[in-house]
Every structure is written in C-alpha cells, then in structure tokens.
Structure 1
Amino acid sequence: MTGAVIAGIGEIPATRRPAPGIDTPGLLVAAARAAVADAGLSHRDVDGIGVSSFLLAPDQAIDLAWQMGLTTTWQAQDILSLALLQQAVRAVEAGDASVVVLVAGDRMTGSGFTAMMEQGYSTIWRDHLARLPVGGPNALFALLTQAHMERYGLTRESYGRLALSQRLWAARNPRALYRAPLSIYEYLAAPRVADPLCIYDCPPLAAGATAVVVADRDRLRGRKRSRRRIAVRAVAASYNHDHQDGDGLTTGISALAPRLWKQSGVAVEDVDHFEIYDDYPVMVLAQLQDLGLFDDPGSFIASRSPDAPWQGINTSGGLLSGGQCGAGGTMKGLVEAVRQLRGARGAGQLADARLSVVTNYGLVPYRYGAAAVGAVLERTR
C-alpha cells in the first residue's frame, strides 16, 4: 500500500450566479486553503501544488502558489483533474514533495464557456468545430447516446432513471446545486438540448472549486489526527484511447481497468462506492460497464429501484445535480469519496464504506473523450 494519503478536503460549493468580484483564482485559493486547514496543516507545511482549471490562464500554478504564500518543490497542471492525483501520489512516493495541495475549479458561466470553446479549449475546436452551429459537446454526445440506445435497446427513460437517482442523492447533499425533487415525467417532458438529450442530461455550468491534500503518511506522524486519512490504493490513466477511430461506446476506462484492479489488489465487486464522471448519463453507464460492474446496461438499470437512489453510485448528486465548475468536475467526486470513506457524509452516508472508485473522463478532440483516469481509495484505520 502506498505511503500517500488524502489528509484534507476543501470545497467551495457551486453557484450558477457568482457574485461580482468572484473570480477563478479566488475560488481556487479558497478551496485550497480549506483543504489545508481540514488536514490540520498550515501553508508552511505545503511543498507541492497541482492545479486544474480552464480559466486560470494566463496565470499558472506558480502564480497560485505565490498567492497562497507557498514555497514549493513540486508543481503540476493538468486539465484532467484526477490525473493530478496520480502525479501527486508518485511525487510523494519519490520524495519530491511531502504535502501537496491539489485544487480544481473555475468561474464557469455561459459566456465564459462559449469563449473557452471558441478560443481557449483547443486548436481543433477553434479551427474546425467552433464554426459549426453545434453549441459545444452536447450534439456530439447526443449522437453517442443515440448509438448507445440502439445497441442496448434503451429508451430515454433509461437515462432518466440515472438522472433521477442522482437528484435523490443530491437532495441529501447540502452542497449540491439542485436538490428539488425530479420526476420521470418532468424529465421526459423537459426541453430538448440535442435529441435525445434534454436539459437534465447536461450538467449546468457553475462557479466553484474543490481541493484535496495528498501527504506522506510519515510526514503526518505525531500531528493531531482530527480527520480520518484515506489511502490512495491505486491510480491508473489512459490517454488517446482508440484515437477517435472507435464508436465511443467503449471508453479509456476499459484500457486502464485491468491495471487499476491489479495494482490495487481489489476487484470491482469489492467496491462499496463509485463516483463516476457524469458529463452525460450515457457516459456513466459506459464507464461502469468498462470497469466491469455489468455486461448489459439495460439489465443493470432494471435491477435498480425507480424510487430510490442507486446504492453507492454518484452519491454527491454528481455534476448533473451538483453543477460543473469547469475543470473542477472530477475533484468534486474525489472529495465526495473521501467524505464517504471518512463516514462524514451526513444524511447520504453509506453504511461501512471501505473502498471507493473515482473516475475522470473527457478532453474531447472531435467526437468524444480522449482520456480517462481511475483511482481506488481505501479507508484507513
């Protein structure tokens, strides 16, 4: 087992209408400071920082470290926020740093998103896709959802069942953006964004940030232990999965899952809790299938009660009910996993959660995500 543990978490809850003066650097700094305090540490203890943000530019990790008053020996930036966890664990194990704060988020609004997709996301989007009247990735994943529906004989209600489950979890999460009840009738009658996707299939843009502190277990010895520390048992990543030549229904999770289970020494059936990146319901089902939780999504959905949240799956409410704060989406799932393993989730606490899996999927070049990361976390004694 690795000597790296998650010692602290911080979250600035998402909001759709950030107040004047709230900006991306301020959100990131606030979340990072909250995580350091939660770990029982001070900024003087921190010697590493990792940052994930679309809108921090032209500032970089070094600028954020300066704003926090940090003196660091290790820094990293990655839009795929869960990849930072992999990098930080390895940095701690190698002795490059002993206390690393990882922070992700953005002040993401409609106008900010449009500007990012047209200019700041990638040259592919800027030079080719931005010229098409598709309004971002919604149309691309609508096509992917259509293909998924056809392959597995699913209906719009199938995906609605997942969205409703996450709303039920969000109702138990005071930090979730949307907590009001949602019925399948409301879902099916909701305005379409790109057929077959409706507004409840697309995560709402929001402003917010989340952070975790990854530290060397030995570095924490002798310090007052006010919070349970969570071991990072394994992290695996897969980039440029099938180079956009496939049909998109198999994600990069399929390539990393065997390594994830081998390195962690656990099997998918051992996992108590999954936080799956949920930019669209179809991608939750695709990633769970790639992890090996089931072979047929239709049978899996049918086995779940339509009137209760799906046990152990996206218990924070995910992005669909919690809001997508730019590059901060997956860090939100990581923070939720730590809360569950600590036994500190409150009304939405799972009974005796010991193992959690968190995934990150995305970075769309042309058709669908080109990268995926998965992590196994374990409750420590």
Structure 2
Amino acid sequence: MTGHPKPAAIAGVATDGIGEAHGFTAVEIAARAARAALDEAGIDHDAVDGVFCADIQNLYAGPELIDQLGLAPRHVDFSNLGGASFIHYLGMAADALNAGRCEVALIAYGSTQRTGAGGFATGARPAWYEAPYAVRYPAYAYALAASRYLALHGLDRSHLAAVALAGRQWAGLCEEAQLREPTTLDALLAERLVCDPFGRRDFCLVTDGAGAIVMVRGERAADLPRPPVHLLAQETVVANRSVTTMEDPCRTPAVESGRRAFAAAGLGPEAVDLVQLYDAFSINPLLALEDLGFLGRGEAGPAVKDGLTAPGGELPANTNGGGLCHCHPGMYGIFLAIEAVRQLRGEAGARQVEGAEIALCHGIGGQYTANATALLGTPAAL
C-alpha cells in the first residue's frame, strides 16, 4: 500500500472486554466493539461491506463475526499474519476502499484468552526443526534476540526492565490498563527469572479483550462525527519463520517495512510525534526503535532507560501501557492503532501527548515473521 491523494480515514474505534470478558465469548466482545466503533463513526452497521478479521484460536472468527453482526460484505480478508495482522489490514482496507471494492471497512478482533482458554493458548507452535528441543514457545526466540542484543552492546537486564517501567508509567495514566500499580526498576529486576534474560514483567499480559476500527475513503472525512485520522502509508514485510533462521536476530524486517512506509508517506522518523510498538516482550520495542530508524544500533536500551519513551520523554511510546501493561489478548496489533487514533484525536485524557499529529504503529507476527508498519496522521499532517 502506498500513499494516496486523499488517504483513507479511520472514522471510529472502540474496545470491549479489556482484561476480562465477563462471560461473553470472543466473537461477542468483538461484535460489541464493532458496534461501538460504528456508533462512534456515526455509521449504521448495515453499511459495512468490507470485513477484516483474524484469530489464532478460531479459524472461522471472520465468518462468525459476520453472522453475529448480520452483515453481507462484498469484500473480506481473513488472512492471518499473527499480531501484525491488524496493522497490515489498515493498508488492505484502504486499498479496498480506494478501489471501490467496499464503502465501509470494519477491522475487528476479539479473544478470551484469559477466561475462555484457561491461560495462554494458541495454534502457533515452534518450527519443526526446533520442536524436538521442547523449547518454551515463543519466549525462547525473543530471549535469544534479547541475549544477543545485551551482549553485543554491553548492556544488562536493566535495559529490558526499563521498557516495562515506561509501560507501567503510561498504564498508570490509562484507566483501561490492567497493570497500573506504580513500580521501580529495582522491583522489576527482582521479579523471578522466567526465560533468561527475561523476568516475569518482560512478558506481555495474558488477558481477554476486543477492538474494532472503522475506515472510510478520505472523501468522507469531512462528514465524520469525530476528527478523522488518515492512513498516510502502510507497508508489510514477511520474512523468516523463526528467530533461529534470521541472519541477525537483532536486525528485524522492520528495517524494510519502516523504510518503505516512510518513503511512501514522504516522511522521516523525525516527523513522528509518538510510536505504538508491539511489545509482547520487552526486547521488541528496543529493536523496533533501532530498526525503524529512530535510534542507532545499541542506542535504544540506554535511551529508554533515560526516559526517552516514558511520560514526558521526547518520543512517547505505547502510551496506554502496551502489551506489557494494558492488555494482550493473544494478538495485540489492533490496540496499537486504536491508541494512536485516540492520541491523534486528542482524546487520551491524562496520558495525552500534546500537539500529536503523526503516529507510527508497528506490529509483529510470529517470531519477527511478519512486520507491519503504518503511519497515521491528523488532517494537519496531509
């Protein structure tokens, strides 16, 4: 997907069942979020004719969502790129809208991974050549990248814990976040070691939750009840199956997805006011900051420890607490975009980044298998 003269606009966003679904099924909370997003957009649900949906537990999540909402879409995309799916869908939905294949695109996701699955459950498995080693999936892969990163740059576990600390500081400002209690770097480092070098809080949460995004063509932006947020560019790169097959586990395909997205938007990292980075593990934002061009090699750990991404920092990141502290219902990607939209609309309350006009969202699927980068902007950014 490349830039467009009148970029497609996000008209509505919503979440539901964050933390716990309270007895609702995954498709039910996804449908609830979809209805709320459509209400926010001022669009009747019967007008939805494009549906984008994926799930790692339910192969038929898309058709079930269509049934639940009573839709008859002309265009659907149920392709699954793991946690990167929903940032990827932003581009696919914009392309479908601009080509006239649909008029109203709904992107939705729901999971009851905490209450419905009895803990972390996923259809994903280690690659066949790794399975005989009984590895702890998927932690072992990211732990490998983290160990390499720390050793290569002379850093230590405190540079990983600093990511979790910044997330906790943002989460304390977000009423929806699930892990809001204040903490310290020392307290995070004292947490039990789970998969060296990761302590317990270097892992994302396991929660329920659903999110939905409604998109329309840019020409309709002036008629939206809420300030529109435009998709300036979106690019996806699919590469390795596993971290163990990467030439360099500290250099991810975000290098290419980010380069393409910035080129398509005609922007550089210096234009970005805030970032939403997939943080299933604390190493993810550090590598993303470097691979996307915000910092040089080995600079992200010290910069985050110095407060770069925390409240009041020069590059706010994961401003709702991210997957480490806000929620993580199996796949987190849709929540990256929802938080970016709320920030760009000026609707983020106590965590609002003042004057934000451009946000970058970066999603990861698998073990850096799929990397999807999107640039979102207010009308002032066009």
TM-score above 0.5: yes
Equivalent position of 1:290 in the other structure: 291
Confirm whether residue 234 of structure 1 aligns to residue 239 of structure 2: no
1:335 to 330, 333, 338: 338
Cα distance 1:242–1:13, how it changes in 2: closer, same or farther (>3 A)?
closer
Give 1:43-82 correspondences, 5 Å limit. 43-57=45-59, 59-77=60-78, 78=80, 79=82, 80-82=85-87
The CA distance in 1 between the partners of 2:112 and 2:13, in whole Å, is 19
Equivalent position of 1:321 in the other structure: 325
Amino acid at match of 2:157: R
Amino acid at match of 2:94: V
Cα distance 1:60–1:105, how it changes in 2: closer, same or farther (>3 A)?
closer
Amino acid at match of 2:7: G
Equivalent position of 1:145 in the other structure: 146
The CA distance in 1 between the partners of 2:30 and 2:124, in whole Å, is 19
Amino acid at match of 2:358: L
The CA distance in 2 between the partners of 1:354 and 1:53, in whole Å, is 31
Amino acid at match of 2:285: V
2:96 to 91, 100, 112: 91
Give 1:1-381 correspondences, 5 Å limit. 1-15=5-19, 17-19=20-22, 21-57=23-59, 59-77=60-78, 78=80, 79=82, 80-109=85-114, 112=117, 116-117=121-122, 120-121=123-124, 125=127, 129=130, 132-219=133-220, 223=223, 225-241=224-240, 244-295=245-296, 296-301=299-304, 303-304=306-307, 310=313, 311-327=315-331, 329-363=332-366, 368-380=367-379
> By how many angstroms is 1:54 displaced?
1.5
Equivalent residues of 2:143, 2:198 under 8 A apart? yes
The CA distance in 2 between the partners of 1:135 and 1:242, in whole Å, is 16
Q: Does the residue aligned with 2:11 lie in a helix, a strand or coil?
A: strand
Q: Provide, for residues 332-375 of structure 1, a one-character-per-residue CA deviation record: whole Å limited to 9, x for no partner.
A: 11000000000010000011000000000121xxxx32110000
The CA distance in 2 between the partners of 1:315 and 1:380, in whole Å, is 21
Q: Does the residue aligned with 2:117 lie in a helix, a strand or coil?
A: helix
Equivalent residues of 1:169, 1:309 under 8 A apart? no
- State the Cα RMSD in Å: 2.3
The CA distance in 2 between the partners of 1:319 and 1:61, in whole Å, is 23
Q: Does the residue aligned with 1:112 lie in a helix, a strand or coil?
A: coil
Percent identical residues: 26
Amino acid at match of 1:109: R
Q: Provide, for residues 220-278 of structure 1, a one-character-per-residue CA deviation record: whole Å limited to 9, x for no partner.
A: 66x4x421110100000100159723122111110122211110011101100100111
Q: Does the residue aligned with 2:248 lie in a helix, a strand or coil?
A: coil
Q: Does the residue aligned with 1:336 lie in a helix, a strand or coil?
A: helix
Between 97-106 and 305-314, the greater mean CA deviation after superposition: 305-314
Q: Does the residue aligned with 2:355 lie in a helix, a strand or coil?
A: coil
What runs of 5+ residues in structure 2 fail to find an aligned partner?
none
**TM-score normalized by structure 1?**
0.90
> By how many angstroms is 1:293 displaced?
0.5
Equivalent residues of 2:169, 2:311 under 8 A apart? yes
What runs of 5+ residues in structure 1 fail to find an aligned partner?
none
Cα distance 1:268–1:44, how it changes in 2: closer, same or farther (>3 A)?
same
The CA distance in 2 between the partners of 1:254 and 1:333, in whole Å, is 19
